[in-house]
């Protein structure tokens, strides 16, 4: 047991508290320090006997969350007090009424929004999704709830190393699924980047360490390159009437990793590894002119890429981000991204929504108009409170679009929509009734269909008809939350009628077949017809898309089925029983390999795990336990929305067992290349191939090989050998 030096801990708590006050001092008004001290003392007393998983006193956490609120987001006294007290209602005996009595309504409302819900949740939902909805309900009242929650999540991610592996995976995936996009949407780029990097650190540590090591090892060369690059620009800027600052920074580890994966290139071949930022000190009236003047100076020395110019000064992003981006060719033949912005724009880019309040009284009232519009859209989603928590989170995530398309009404009013939005999205953005009766549109005076994808600068006129009404196909070509929710609302009444008719047909048919109309029978029918939910099945039958006579075929199949060696999960109770059984019999750990007769499992086809991969088990509705890689494309959604169905898993032994791995090979085409590749696989490495597909075009060879391997070491050895084949440029394992 580790001995704790209580006196040293007390000194450290006071040191952290004083550091918080020191950073908060510039924003404190008369009496604020006393309020913060009262909050600190209450939090200290409430958490006095509590410790975090790391063994540290719990009070460290609220102090650090308050510190993030001040230094990294720029929030004030109310937020500091709320951050210090954010866990006391949930974790201690102190009530919300007491908080309100001692610190006022605002603080109480914020803490209420931050406090987790406890209780029973509907099957197929998840506690995290419900908590997220509850938190967002406070958004229309006070955006500080979300900002403090992001600070709380950031500190939890920074200290994730002390948590068990399964908790690390769940928290990291929730973060990438919801919190990082939310930070982006609120303009908190620094926090968003750190959350993404920490996600990668805990889900794919090898990739994270590889990139971090490369960034560090190339630091001196990068700094020298930046000095040489900015020298001629600096000489001219020194002659200008404004002050300026130039920064060079590497891209985030997560964004470099994404580029490596998407472009299938090694670290050395990611061309825009870093960006140069030029920050100008000038007054509001001259901001735009100063930024374009700097752009002119940069492009006097370096050739710009015309396709890579982004003007977010004339039309800011929907989250308020303003900047001028260009990519130029350096003297060494390397592309460099240059970001040009003013001091005000830089502060808003780093601290997001909170920084807007500092400039709110300024003439530039457009600074936070985009965010206000977005919050208005979130309120609309929140009003659709009859959807399940999972549907709500999906709708909300779709509103966290990172790219926008800027369009105009016939009168020239600007409308900002999600990237990929169609003419129908535009119609619903104008008004729900316009969308519901939309027949088509004229874009730039030309007639287009409803599913026409809008481009920047399009001028759109919507054509309507009273006879027109929404249909299900419309959901396939809208991307905005507003359009989706309004179409669903319109279809809901019609759907209810079909569901009721379908339910009656199923009830009648089951009665004829002498089968009880039970939850279990419904789940089996859903499985047989390959539907997602009983309601969907009833709807398809009620509408006549599924012939009700096929229920007899289901009965015939049911009678022939032999009981499987594991019990399928057919209903909510059975689901919980299955999870409990797994956890009891396997000590909360699913062992994959030999002697696994008690609980059956299958390998997920979406990521094809093999021994050596970091994996987790997921209890499915009707297919037992599926094993997924932690880097699986579906991991974030599964771990975020259905964490209660996740089972820890690890490999035991894989002797005499073969697993399918998929390798992608890219190279320059030559005679005999395929022969050399197959020889390496079958002769040198004693590996059996399942299939090979090859495509050659313009002298480039691309192949996909499915082969049987025993573990990840086997794959790594094979990749290493294949990379030595003449003409092979890259070999990678496909997920």
pLDDT at position 131 is 63
Q: What is the DSSP letter of 159?
A: T
Pairwise CA distance, residues 110 & 219, whole Å: 43
Judged against a pLDDT cut of 80, whether residue 732 lies above it is answered with: yes
Tens-digit pLDDT profile for residues 70-118: 998 888 899 999 999 988 888 888 888 899 999 998 888 888 877 754 3
Pairwise CA distance, residues 586 & 153, whole Å: 31
Token reading at 91: 């974790």
Token reading at 188: 């908190």
Question: How large a percentage of the chain has pLDDT more than 70?
Answer: 80
DSSP string, 224-269: HHHHHHHHHHHHHHTTSSSEEEEEEEEPPHHHHHHHHHHHT--GGG
| Contacting residues for 537 by C-beta, under 8 A, at least 6 apart | 502, 506, 522, 525, 526, 529, 531, 546
Judged against a pLDDT cut of 90, whether residue 202 lies above it is answered with: yes
Domains of the chain: 6-206 (1.10.3210.10), 210-369 (3.30.460.10), 489-560 (no CATH), 572-651 (no CATH), 659-733 (3.30.70.260)
pLDDT at position 483 is 86
Token reading at 395: 């709708």
Segment 224-234 shows an average pLDDT of 88
pLDDT at position 392 is 63
CB 146 within 8 A of CB 136: yes
Q: How many helices (H) and strands (E) does the chain have?
A: 30, 20
Tens-digit pLDDT profile for residues 524-568: 788 778 777 788 888 888 877 787 677 777 766 555 443 443 344
| Contacting residues for 483 by C-beta, under 8 A, at least 6 apart | 424, 425, 427, 428, 429, 435, 474
Which is more confidently placed, 463 or 128? 463
pLDDT at position 407 is 85
pTM metric for this prediction: 0.66
Q: Give bridge partners of residue 414 from the DSSP assignment.
A: 408
Segment 279-303 shows an average pLDDT of 91
Q: What confidence category does residue 201 fall into, taking pLDDT thresholds of 50, 70 and 90?
A: very high
Q: How many C-beta neighbours within 10 Å does residue 315 have? A: 15
Pairwise CA distance, residues 144 & 129, whole Å: 20
Q: What confidence category does residue 422 fall into, taking pLDDT thresholds of 50, 70 and 90?
A: very high
Q: What is the DSSP letter of 683?
A: I
Selecting among 45, 90, 366, 684, the annotated active-site residue is: 90
pLDDT at position 208 is 92
Active-site residue flag, 386: no
Which is more confidently placed, 706 or 291? 291
pLDDT at position 365 is 47
pLDDT at position 709 is 78
pLDDT at position 387 is 56
Active-site residue flag, 90: yes
Selecting among 9, 12, 56, 91, the annotated active-site residue is: 91
Q: What mean pLDDT is reported for the chain?
A: 79
Which is more confidently placed, 652 or 147? 147
Tens-digit pLDDT profile for residues 140-195: 557 788 888 899 999 999 999 988 888 888 889 888 888 888 888 777 888 999 99
pLDDT at position 248 is 83
Pairwise CA distance, residues 386 & 659, whole Å: 44
Judged against a pLDDT cut of 60, whether residue 685 lies above it is answered with: no
Judged against a pLDDT cut of 50, whether residue 598 lies above it is answered with: no
pLDDT at position 14 is 92
DSSP string, 329-367: E-TTS-EEEEEEEEHHHHHHHHHTHHHHHHHTTSS-GGG
3-state secondary structure of 565: coil
Segment 117-128 shows an average pLDDT of 44
């Amino acid at each position: 047991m580790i001995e704790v030096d209580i006196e040293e801990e007390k000194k450290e708590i006071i040191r952290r508290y004083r550091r918080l006050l020191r950073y908060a001092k510039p924003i404190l008004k008369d009496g604020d320090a006393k309020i913060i001290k009262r909050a600190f003392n209450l939090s200290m007393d409430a958490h006095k006997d509590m410790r975090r998983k790391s063994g540290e006193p719990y009070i460290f956490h609220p102090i650090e969350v308050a510190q993030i609120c001040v230094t990294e987001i720029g929030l004030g006294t109310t937020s500091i007090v709320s951050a210090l007290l954010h866990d006391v209602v949930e974790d201690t005996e102190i009530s919300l009424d007491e908080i309100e009595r001692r610190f006022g309504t605002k603080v109480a409302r914020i803490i209420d929004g931050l406090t987790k819900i406890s209780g029973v949740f509907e099957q197929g939902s998840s506690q995290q999704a419900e908590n997220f909805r509850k938190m967002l309900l406070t958004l229309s009242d006070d955006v500080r709830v979300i900002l403090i929650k992001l600070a709380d999540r950031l500190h939890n991610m920074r200290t994730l190393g002390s948590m068990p592996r399964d908790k690390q995976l769940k928290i990291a995936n929730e973060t990438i699924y919801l919190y990082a996009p939310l930070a982006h949407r609120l303009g908190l780029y620094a926090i968003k980047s750190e959350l993404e990097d920490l996600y990668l650190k805990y889900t794919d540590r090898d990739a994270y360490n590889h990139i971090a090591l490369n960034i560090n090892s190339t630091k001196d060369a990068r700094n020298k390159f930046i000095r040489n690059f900015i020298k001629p620009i600096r000489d001219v800027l020194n002659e200008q009437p404004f002050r300026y600052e130039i920064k060079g920074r590497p891209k985030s580890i997560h964004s470099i990793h994404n580029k490596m994966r998407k472009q299938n290139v090694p670290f050395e071949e990611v061309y825009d590894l870093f960006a140069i930022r030029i920050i100008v000190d000038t007054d509001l009236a001259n901001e735009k002119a100063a930024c374009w003047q700097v752009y002119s100076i940069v492009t006097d020395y370096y050739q710009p890429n015309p396709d890579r110019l982004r003007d977010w000064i004339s039309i800011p992003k929907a989250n308020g981000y303003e900047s001028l981006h260009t990519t130029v060719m350096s003297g060494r033949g390397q592309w460099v991204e240059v970001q040009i912005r003013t001091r005000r724009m830089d502060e808003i880019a780093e601290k997001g929504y909170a920084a807007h309040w500092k400039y709110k009284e300024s003439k530039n009232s457009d600074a936070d108009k985009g965010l206000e519009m977005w919050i208005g859209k979130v309120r609309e989603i929140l009003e659709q409170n009859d959807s399940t928590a999972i549907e709500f989170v999906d709708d909300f995530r779709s509103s966290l679009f990172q790219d926008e398309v800027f369009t105009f009404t016939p009168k020239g009013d600007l409308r900002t929509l999600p990237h990929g939005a169609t003419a129908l999205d535009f119609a619903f953005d104008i008004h729900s009734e316009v969308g519901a009766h939309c027949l088509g549109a004229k874009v730039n005076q030309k007639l287009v269909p409803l599913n026409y994808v809008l481009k920047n600068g399009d001028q759109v006129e919507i054509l309507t008809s009273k006879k027109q009404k929404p249909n299900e196909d419309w959901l396939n070509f809208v991307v905005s939350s507003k359009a989706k929710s309004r179409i669903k609302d319109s279809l809901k009444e019609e759907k209810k009628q079909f569901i009721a008719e379908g339910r009656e047909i199923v009830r009648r048919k089951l009665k004829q077949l002498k089968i009880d109309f039970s939850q279990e029978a419904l789940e089996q029918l859903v499985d047989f017809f390959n539907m997602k939910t009983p309601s969907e099945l009833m709807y398809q039958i009620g509408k006549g898309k599924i012939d009700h006579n096929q229920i007899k075929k289901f009965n015939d199949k049911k009678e022939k089925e032999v009981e499987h060696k594991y019990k399928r999960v057919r209903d909510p109770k059975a689901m919980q029983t299955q999870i409990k059984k797994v956890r009891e019999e396997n000590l909360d750990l699913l062992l994959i390999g030999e002697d696994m007769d008690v609980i059956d499992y299958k390998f997920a086809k979406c990521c094809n795990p093999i021994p050596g991969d970091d994996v987790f088990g997921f209890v499915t509705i009707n297919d037992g336990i599926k094993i997924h890689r932690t880097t699986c494309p579906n991991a974030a959604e599964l771990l975020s929305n259905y964490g209660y169905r996740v089972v820890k898993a690890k490999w035991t032994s894989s002797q005499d067992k073969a697993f399918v791995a998929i390798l992608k090979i890219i190279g320059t085409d030559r005679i005999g290349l395929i022969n050399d590749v197959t020889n390496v696989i079958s002769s040198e490495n004693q590996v059996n191939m399942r299939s090979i597909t090859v495509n050659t075009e313009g002298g480039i060879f691309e192949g996909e090989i499915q082969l049987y391997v025993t573990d990840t070491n086997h794959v790594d050895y094979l990749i290493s050998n294949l990379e030595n084949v003449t003409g092979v440029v890259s070999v990678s394992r496909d997920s």
